[in-house]
């Protein structure tokens, strides 16, 4: 491939794509005729708005308080993570994955590590697989807790928010225990995990698994049969399973619309096939159904964690393939081989075979996919993230049409977007 | 009307306004601490012992903040709106008695009473003053020239239309029971039994309607933070915002004082303490203490509701007001009137038919609400 302007046969000016100047007239088709005549009101909601969950901007066309059109405008949190990853070796690029969806950091690590493992053909030891499942499910609970807290806060049930953060704190403590970091753990690495968990890990997780069901009952006691909460969520933001599929929705949002699609069941990875768990689904496809699905998912995740902990075998936690995975610290001091491997891997990295792969995991928000293309060098030639928040957000205009502003806020909350995940 | 009596009103009024302003400051502190306890937090505890100086720190911060005026705001109304909102909140409690006649004390040869004005249409005064406050909110929303603020103002009008009627009708049940619109009579009529016991459903309607009246959760639609950022006070800052804030909290205090007087015996002791040393008849100065305690508990109720309940949608509030509260409170007026008629003509025991029948009516209303919810739940599947 030749950079723009370097090709002799095609001078810079001609190869340069035309730059379109967008005027207001070009955007008028987005709103209805009535907005142009001033009959309806255009309201700019966000990017600085308490309920857009970050820097999402919505252009609303309102008839009174009824939403006629809702035009999402994204890109305020664009960080160029994908491009930046192309400039780093495979190991070092992983640090950026934590920053994509900052509520699912361990899950992002897993998606990336699985893609690299698939690309170079690495095996992962059974203990590492078990640890991955435990941590990813803990992360799923933590993410759902934040969703529950903020979604409840969007309908002004403010206390739930702080109760959820109390439990999330326990999960972050477990992450700190295993990785030394509370959020940006980079704990799951290609070929396994960073290091084995400390001895306190098992007790911490077991305590959490024991305590958590009661806490979920408490949240449900506050919300599930609360008439005001039902009033705010029943029949709001309905989307049919067909529409959801056409818009590329995945995750709890899709499962609340009656489509039973969960990658953990449909395309098992990391040994999910050994665990006995249900995939909660609902058929109504409204805000309340999405609420029920996510709350139930928290309970199922607890079941998975418990089983994974019971089945967790002893043994190594990272692959023995020294060409791709750095040797353990203890070997470096005594083995010349190990020192060389360590030096080579952390300076120039490993060369991945030429080719491209796509690998996906079920993140708390839906299908989190990584497309990884290698040109045979030590750095990814192209990496693309198929992030669930981005695709799920597309359903917002459809869901919001005809509802009130108050409902729109509840709907945004129910989609569970993370802007770091949308804009990348 | 002598000069001395005008002076007495002025001084009493001034003292009461100062009490309300101090009460507002410490109500914010009370609310923040109580909310924090409910939400497993600590709350303000840095300024002074237990954070007791926090309200003063807040006040200083707000006073020294820059006064900001949006470029295309209606300057006169923008300045006037907080004042219009605050004034009713300060004057509404003028007719409420804070202590019994027996607690009156002589000062400079005059008998000082525990109320500012003894108005024989006290309840009507409260009704009319309470409805003025909404103008301030509407004007604040409109004059800010901000779309969010305007939506907040509009919501406020829609909201007021739907609860004021139910509020007024729940007043009427009390007037019937006390046979007077003078607040001192109403309080004294509760010596034997609180009206909260005699007319429990009316009390609940009153409390719900007053939550809407003072724009408190779950009816805080005009300043819904999650929806309209801050609604009608989006553009306000500094002292103007402080005035709006003060109005909200002073209205809370005022409405709790009124609720205590109308339904919970005001300055009277709880009925089971009648005849003991703790009775107001024996120790008159306990009157203000009882009133304070009742207000304190009612305020906690408001804070508790805010911590627990989600916000209702404004069209649902209107439906609730018109379809449930209004018919129910209308029915209560008839039930109360019928009960009193039977009590006077047939048998005094019919007095106790009032709470029984009105609880049944309230139960029917709750069933009706659940029926609507259930229908909605079936309709969505």
**CA-to-CA dists, residue A46 to A57, A156, A388, A399, B163, angstroms:** 4, 18, 21, 18, 32
- ipTM higher than the 0.85 cut: no
pLDDT digits (tens, 9 = 90+) for A283-322: 888 899 999 999 999 999 999 999 999 988 888 888 888 8
Q: Find the helix or strand (DSSP H, E) in which A340 lies.
A: helix A336-347
Question: Is the CB of residue A152 less than 8 Å from the CB of residue A161?
Answer: yes
Q: Which of A225-234, A245-254, B334-343 has the highest mean pLDDT?
A: A245-254
Question: Which residues of A sit within 8 Å Cβ distance of B?
Answer: 41, 43, 49-51, 65, 152-159, 162-163, 166, 222-223, 226-232, 234-235, 238, 283-284, 286, 288, 404-407, 409
Residue in A with minimal Cα distance to B312: A228
Give the confidence band of A2 by pLDDT, cuts at 50, 70, 90.
very low
CA atoms within 13 A on the CB side of A345: 17
Report which of A168, A249, A260 is spatially closest to residue A216, judged by C-alpha positions: A168
Predicted pLDDT of residue B347? 79
Instruction: Identify the pLDDT of residue A3.
Output: 46
SS3 percent helix, strand, coil of chain A, rounded to 5, is 50, 10, 40
Cα distance between residue B18 and residue B246, in whole Å = 12
A11 — pLDDT class (breaks 50, 70, 90) = low
> CB–CB of B312 and A157 under 8 A?
no
Q: What is the mean pLDDT of residues B124-129?
A: 86
SS (H, E, C) A226-245: CHHHHHHHCCCCCCCHHHHH
pLDDT recorded at residue A5: 45
pLDDT of residue A14: 62
Q: Is the pLDDT of residue B123 over 80?
A: yes
Q: What is the pLDDT of residues B283-329, one digit of tens each?
A: 777 888 888 888 999 999 988 988 888 888 878 888 888 888 888 88
Please tell me the distance in Å from A63's CA to the nearest CA on chain B. 11
**CA-wise closest residue to B305 among B202, B217, B220:** B217
Write down the mean pLDDT value for chain A. 86
Q: What digits encode the pLDDT tens for the residues B201-211?
A: 888 888 888 88
* pTM higher than the cut 0.95: no
Q: Average pLDDT, stretch A221-246? A: 87
The conformational region for residue B108 under phi > 0 = left, psi -120 to 50 = alpha, else beta, is: left
Q: Which domains does chain A have, with CATH numbers?
A: 24-73 (no CATH), 81-423 (1.10.645.10)
Between A155, A286, A404, which is nearest B315 by CB? A404
The better pLDDT of the pair B64, B225 is held by: B64
C-alpha–C-alpha distance, residues A410 and A407, integer Å? 5
Q: What is the pLDDT of residue A30?
A: 77
Instruction: Enumerate the residues of chain A whose CB falls inside 8 A of the CB of residue B317.
Output: none
- At A320-367, the pLDDT tens digits run 888 888 888 888 889 898 899 888 888 888 888 888 899 999 999 989
pLDDT at res. A175:
92
Nearest to B381 among A153, A229, A284 (CB): A284
Residue A18 has pLDDT above 60, yes or no: yes
* A159: chain B residues, CB-CB within 8 Å: 38-39, 307-308
Q: Tokens 């449909």 sit at which residue?
A: A266
**How many residues in chain A?**
424
Confidence of residue A143 (pLDDT cuts 50, 70, 90): very high
- Looking up tokens 């990496």 gives A383
Quick check: A265 and A274 in contact, CB under 8 A? no
């Amino acid at each position: 491939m030749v950079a723009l302007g370097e090709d002799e046969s095609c001078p810079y000016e001609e190869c340069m794509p035309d730059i379109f100047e967008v005027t207001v007239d070009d955007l008028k088709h987005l709103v209805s005729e009535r907005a142009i005549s001033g009959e309806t009101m255009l309201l700019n909601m966000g990017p600085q708005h308490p309920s857009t969950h970050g820097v999402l901007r919505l252009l609303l066309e309102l008839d009174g308080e009824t939403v006629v059109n809702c035009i999402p405008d994204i890109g305020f949190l664009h960080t160029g993570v994908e491009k930046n990853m192309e400039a780093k070796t495979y190991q070092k690029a992983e640090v950026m994955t934590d920053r994509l969806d900052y509520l699912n950091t361990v899950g992002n690590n897993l998606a990336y590590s699985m893609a690299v493992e698939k690309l170079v053909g690495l095996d992962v030891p059974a203990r590492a697989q078990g640890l991955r499942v435990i941590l990813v499910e803990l992360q799923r609970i933590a993410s759902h807790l934040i969703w529950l807290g903020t979604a409840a806060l969007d309908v002004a049930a403010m206390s739930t928010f702080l109760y959820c953060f109390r439990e999330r704190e326990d999960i972050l403590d477990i992450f700190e225990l295993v990785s030394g970091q509370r959020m940006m753990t980079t704990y799951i690495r290609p070929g396994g995990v960073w290091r084995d968990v400390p001895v306190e890990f098992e007790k911490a997780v077991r305590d959490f698994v024991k305590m958590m069901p009661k806490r979920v009952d408490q949240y449900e006691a506050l919300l599930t049969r609360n008439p005001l909460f039902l009033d705010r969520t029943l029949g709001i933001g309905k989307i049919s399973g067909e529409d959801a599929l056409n818009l590329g929705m995945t995750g709890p949002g899709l499962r609340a619309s009656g489509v039973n699609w969960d990658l953990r069941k449909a395309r098992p990875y990391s040994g999910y096939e050994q665990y006995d768990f249900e995939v909660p689904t609902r058929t109504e496809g409204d805000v309340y159904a999405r609420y029920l699905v996510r709350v139930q998912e928290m309970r199922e995740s607890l079941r998975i964690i418990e089983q994974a902990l019971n089945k967790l075998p002893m043994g190594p936690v990272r692959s023995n393939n020294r060409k791709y995975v750095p040797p353990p610290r203890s070997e470096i001091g005594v083995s010349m081989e190990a020192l060389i491997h360590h030096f080579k891997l952390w300076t120039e990295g490993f060369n991945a075979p030429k080719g491209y792969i796509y690998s996906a995991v079920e993140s708390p928000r839906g299908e989190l996919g990584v497309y990884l293309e290698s040109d045979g060098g030590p750095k990814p030639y192209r990496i693309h993230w198929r992030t669930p928040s981005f695709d799920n957000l597309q359903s917002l205009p459809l869901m919001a049409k005809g509802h009130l502003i108050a409902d729109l806020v509840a709907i945004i909350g129910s989609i569970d977007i993370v802007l770091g995940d949308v804009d990348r | 009307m002598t000069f001395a009596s005008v002076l007495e009103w002025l001084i009493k009024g001034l003292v009461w306004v100062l009490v309300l302003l101090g009460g507002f400051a410490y109500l914010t502190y009370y609310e923040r601490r109580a909310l924090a306890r409910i939400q497993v937090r600590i709350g303000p505890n840095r300024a002074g012992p237990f954070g007791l100086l926090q309200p003063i720190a807040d006040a200083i911060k707000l006073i020294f903040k820059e006064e900001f005026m949006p470029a295309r705001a209606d300057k006169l109304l923008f300045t006037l709106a907080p004042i219009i909102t605050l004034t009713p909140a300060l004057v509404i409690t003028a007719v409420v008695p804070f202590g019994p006649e027996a607690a009156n004390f002589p000062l400079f040869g005059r008998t000082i009473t525990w109320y500012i004005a003894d108005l024989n249409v006290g309840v009507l005064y409260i009704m009319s003053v309470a409805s003025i406050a909404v103008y301030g909110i509407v004007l604040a929303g409109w004059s800010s020239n901000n779309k969010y603020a305007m939506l907040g103002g509009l919501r406020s009008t829609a909201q007021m239309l739907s609860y004021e009627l139910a509020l007024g009708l729940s007043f009427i049940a009390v007037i019937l029971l006390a046979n007077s619109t003078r607040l001192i009579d109403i309080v004294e009529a509760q010596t034997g039994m609180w009206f909260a016991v005699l007319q429990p459903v009316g009390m609940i309607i009153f409390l719900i309607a007053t939550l809407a009246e003072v724009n408190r959760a779950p009816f805080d639609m005009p300043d819904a933070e999650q929806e309209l950022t801050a609604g009608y006070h989006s553009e306000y800052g500094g002292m103007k915002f402080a005035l709006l804030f003060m109005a909200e909290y002073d209205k809370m205090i005022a409405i709790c004082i009124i609720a205590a007087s109308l339904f919970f015996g005001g300055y009277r002791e709880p009925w089971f303490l009648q005849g003991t040393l703790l009775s107001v008849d024996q120790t008159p100065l306990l009157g203000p203490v009882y009133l304070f305690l009742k207000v304190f508990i009612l305020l906690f109720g408001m804070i508790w509701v805010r911590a627990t309940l989600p916000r209702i949608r404004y069209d649902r509030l209107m439906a609730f007001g018109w379809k449930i509260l209004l018919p129910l409170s209308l029915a209560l007026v008839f039930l109360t009137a019928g009960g009193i008629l039977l009590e006077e003509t047939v048998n005094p025991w019919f007095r106790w038919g009032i709470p029984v029948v009105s609880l049944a009516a309230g139960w029917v209303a709750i069933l009706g609400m659940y029926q609507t919810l259930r229908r909605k739940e079936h309709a969505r599947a």
